Amino acid sequence: MASDDFSQTVSQSSVSQSVLIVDPARTSRDKGMAVIAALGFKPRGASDSFEAHALVDGASVVIAVHPTAQDMYPRLKSTGVPLIASFSGKQPRAAALAAHIGADAFILRPYKREFMTQALFAAANARLLRERALRAEMALGDVSGVSRNADKLGLLHIDLFKTLLPLEIRRARRHGYPIAICVVSIDPLPNLQHMSQDLVIACEPLLRGAVRDVDLAVRYGDGRFLVFLPHTDARGAEAVGKRIVDQIRSVRFKQAGVTLMVTASVGIATPRNGKAPSFARLIRDAHAAVKAAQLKGGDRAVVR
């Protein structure tokens, strides 16, 4: 897509005219605001999170130098405002770090028009995905009575997941952005023949907490979960997989008076080079990756 077309797409997206940039360096902040203004948006600037908290209301996107505004992240997540993490141009593995902190996109400094446009486009898509998922869930609930799990842990109902996933894969194929799928399998506990539902339920909030709001997560079989990661390449998906493994490891389960540590195997699949995204292929590759993780002893993430 040409740069001008890309800019027009951003301007026509759900991102409104207000973009807040949090950057402690005045020269860098002014440069970023100038780029934002050149793209047709209304820039607002703050030097730290204290100033930013007073300006975030009404902003549709927040661009924040990490970790300057780290204490704002929970507020942005709860309100659904997209976060673009801003890193130094020398930041190693920026994509993985952005995924780790739950950012919808990232940008490297110094700020440049092309990269700012791409980051705003990704943020707009993230917001649209959240809004679309909410509308679809509400519509499904009105028609069938099906909604999020009653315990409100944040996992989608399987019927809603089946509705949204093909749409997102077709969208990724059309626009050419990266996607990934994770299959999460709770590792068997000693002498436990059947997976306890109490154990599965205990893992759900930790799984949901390890992924972003725009990621689609659902319970998938006995002791398994499926997570769809839009706008995520193999490196970013691996970071998410490792975070899930770390989170599940914190679960403790009592069996016959003995407290056991719970672990999980995570299989990660991304589209193969030169191949259009296919749900069937992604699922096969993710299952193969889970099996590889289990054969290595579990408690790990493997990318296929």
Domain boundary among 123, 146, 170: 123
Here the CATH number for the domain that contains residue 57 is: 3.40.50.2300
User: Do 282 and 169 share a structural domain?
Assistant: yes
Q: What is the DSSP string of the chain?
A: --HHHHHHHHHTSS--SEEEEE-S-HHHHHHHHHHHHHTT-EEEEESSHHHHHTT-TT-SEEEEETTTTGGGHHHHHHHT--EEEEEETT-TTHHHHHHHHT-SEEEEESP-HHHHHHHHHHHHHHHHHHHHHHHHHHHHHHHHS--S-TT--SPBPHHHHHHHHHHHHHHHHHHT--EEEEEEEEPPPTT--S--HHHHHHHHHHHHHHS-TTSEEEE-STTEEEEEEET--HHHHHHHHHHHHHHHTT-EEEETTEEEE--EEEEEE-PPTT----HHHHHHHHHHHHHHHHHTTSSEEEE-
Residues 14 and 114 grouped into a single domain = yes
Question: What tens digit of pLDDT does each residue of 104-143 get?
Answer: 889 999 999 999 998 998 888 777 776 666 665 555 555 4
> What pLDDT shows up at residue 62?
95
- 170 in the same domain as 102: no
Q: Is residue 131 part of a domain?
A: no
Task: Provide the percentage of residues in the chain whose pLDDT is more than 70.
Answer: 84
- For residues 290 and 186, membership in a common domain is answered with yes
Q: What per-residue confidence (pLDDT) applies to 123?
A: 83
| Shared domain check, 225 and 113 | no
pLDDT tens string 160-218: 677 777 777 888 888 788 899 999 999 988 776 677 788 888 888 889 888 877 788 88
Residue pLDDT, tens place only, 215-249: 888 888 778 999 999 888 898 899 999 999 999 99
User: Are 103 and 206 in a shared domain?
Assistant: no
Query: Does a structural domain hold residue 176?
Result: yes
Q: Report yes or no on 45 lying in a domain.
A: yes
25 shares its domain with 116: yes
Average pLDDT over the chain, rounded to whole? 82
pLDDT at 49: 87
Do both 259 and 168 map to the same domain?
A: yes
Decide if 119 is inside a domain: yes
What is the percentage of the chain residues whose pLDDT exceeds 90? 36
**Same-domain pairing of 163 and 265:** yes
Instruction: Answer with the one of 123, 139, 174 that is the final residue of a domain.
Output: 123
In the listed set 70, 101, 123, which residue is the last one of a domain according to the structure?
A: 123
Are 164 and 299 in a shared domain? yes
Are residue 36 and residue 164 in the same domain, yes or no?
no
Q: Say if residue 210 is in the same domain as residue 299.
A: yes
Confirm whether 100 is domain-assigned.
yes
Give the pLDDT confidence score for residue 153 in this predicted structure: 47
Number of domains making up the chain: 2
| 128 part of a folded domain | no
Confidence of residue 88 (pLDDT cuts 50, 70, 90): very high
In a domain, 83, yes or no: yes
What confidence score (pLDDT) does residue 185 get?
A: 95
The answer to whether residue 138 is domain-embedded is: no
* Structural domain that includes position 30: 3-123
